Amino acid sequence: MSLRGVAAAVGLAERAPQRYTGEETILDLLSGVAVDAMADAGIDRSEVDGLLVHPIGGLPGFVPATVAEFVGLRPRFAELVDLGGATGAGMIWRAAAAIGAGMCTTCLCLTGTRRRRRAASSGKSEGGRAPAARKSHSRPPARDRSPHAEFDAPYGMIGANIGYAMLATRYAFEYGLTDAQRAKVAVDQRRNANANPAAIFYKEPLTVDDVLASDVICEPLHMLEIVMPAAGAAAVIVTAADRVADAAQRPAWLLGAGESVTHSSVAQAPAFGETGIGIAARAAFSSAGVDPSNVGLASLYDCYTIMVLLTLEEAGFCKAGEAGAFAESHDLTFSGDFPLNTHGGQLSFGQAGIAGGMSHVTEAIRQIQGRGGDRQVADLELAYAHGNGGIIAEQVGLVFGTDR
């Protein structure tokens, strides 16, 4: 069975990324954006019978049940998706699959992250970041007995910067890649963000020279090639084909999906050309019956500039080793010849934890629905959204279209 045309995204809502949130709890943040998404779709909560959420710091278990009670849902399908930055995209096809299997008819895919300014005297922090205790003591939390804690963290392989920097080093060794080629991605995405009032960097222009003049955090990556953590939330309503006509918004049909999980430690990542990025993307395109060249919008996970370049070639938008030249020779803005991350990408829109990955999905849906506003891609019929988790460990590709 293919997922093509089984379900469509018909509504969405977001809390624009901000550096920090206030006193609102994570459950209140999620409830608020859930209500807005249902209103956007014109679907009453009594009609929502599927719920997809992700692990939430401070909630040790029972996450779907806790969220369902808070939002006021009694789902017949309740799912916890744990794919890091690919979680949002992973929710969408799971929702369609559950609908296709007859388990439910309308799903709420819900993501969000709080982020509180840490008081200087307090060791407490909340949200999707590592607890402060982990940063101020050499011993990892007693409960973290993962292979990562034993074999990666003792070397400083902590967080994502180091891992993506090593991917960039290896890529440059195999194919050649200049700092300016990577910077071009950040700059074109910023131009998109400059047309998106919800973007965290809406009012700040960016040049290649700005990127290259920013501090090198870990070679070869500069500060302005690295996503900035933020707080925010995003929710998407996915409904069955026979219910689409009842929704308030035009449908963004899910035409194809693919997923791949290949490793956890960066040391065990497959070689370029064999990554899960390509596995997920090829599955998405083939199940949709679509070629990458047919797509009018690429909404690609961008925790770092190098991730966009890797995805461009592993997903088949250009040949192996040509991503740097591809980025340099194409206009990646919403009015350009290869519209990419038209919301600004997480680099310029903001990365609100798991909602950051969902932003690539919400932008693809919004653009397919023709609701892109000042940054609408003209004559758009097909969009590709890609989610990536861990150090290229978890991958999900989605193809959306205006027609079933």
Partner 1 sequence: MSARPIPPTSALTQPYWDAAGRGQMTVQRCEQCEHRPFPPRATCPSCGGSSLSWSPVSGRAKVYSYTVAYRAPHPVFAAQLPLVVAIVELEEGPRMVTNIVGCDPAEVEVGMAVEFTPEPIDDTDMVLPVFSPTNESG
**Closer CB to partner 1, 155 or 242, in the complex:** 155
Report d(CA 181, CA 323) in Å as an integer.
9
Q: Which residues contact 143 (CB under 8 A, 6 or more apart)?
A: none
**Closer CB to partner 1, 162 or 325, in the complex:** 162
Question: How many CA atoms lie less than 13 Å away from 185 in the CB half-sphere?
Answer: 35
Residues lying near partner 1 in the complex (CB under 8 A) are found at 134-136, 138-140, 144-145, 147, 149-159, 161-162, 165-170, 173, 215-221, 265-268
Taking the CA atoms of residue 384, residue 295, residue 364 and residue 82 in that order, the dihedral angle to the nearest 10 degrees is 0
**Closer CB to partner 1, 118 or 250, in the complex:** 118
Report d(CA 330, CA 381) in Å as an integer.
20
**Closer CB to partner 1, 70 or 175, in the complex:** 175
Q: Which residues contact 285 (CB under 8 A, 6 or more apart)?
A: 256, 258, 291, 292, 316, 384, 397, 399
- Nearest alpha carbon to residue 52 among 113, 94, 100: 94
- As measured in angstroms, the least distance from the Cβ of 342 to partner 1 is 30
- As measured in angstroms, the least distance from the Cβ of 122 to partner 1 is 16
- As measured in angstroms, the least distance from the Cβ of 276 to partner 1 is 16
**Closer CB to partner 1, 27 or 183, in the complex:** 183
- As measured in angstroms, the least distance from the Cβ of 161 to partner 1 is 7
- As measured in angstroms, the least distance from the Cβ of 225 to partner 1 is 13
Tokens of 41: 């779709």
- As measured in angstroms, the least distance from the Cβ of 151 to partner 1 is 5
Q: Is 136 exposed, middle or buried (0-12, 13-18, 19+ CB in 10 A)?
A: exposed
**Closer CB to partner 1, 167 or 185, in the complex:** 167
- As measured in angstroms, the least distance from the Cβ of 244 to partner 1 is 43
**Closer CB to partner 1, 157 or 309, in the complex:** 157
Q: Which residues contact 3 (CB under 8 A, 6 or more apart)?
A: 93, 96, 97, 100, 254, 256, 257, 287
- As measured in angstroms, the least distance from the Cβ of 153 to partner 1 is 5
**Closer CB to partner 1, 72 or 176, in the complex:** 176
Report d(CA 82, CA 87) in Å as an integer.
6
**Closer CB to partner 1, 26 or 157, in the complex:** 157
- As measured in angstroms, the least distance from the Cβ of 243 to partner 1 is 43
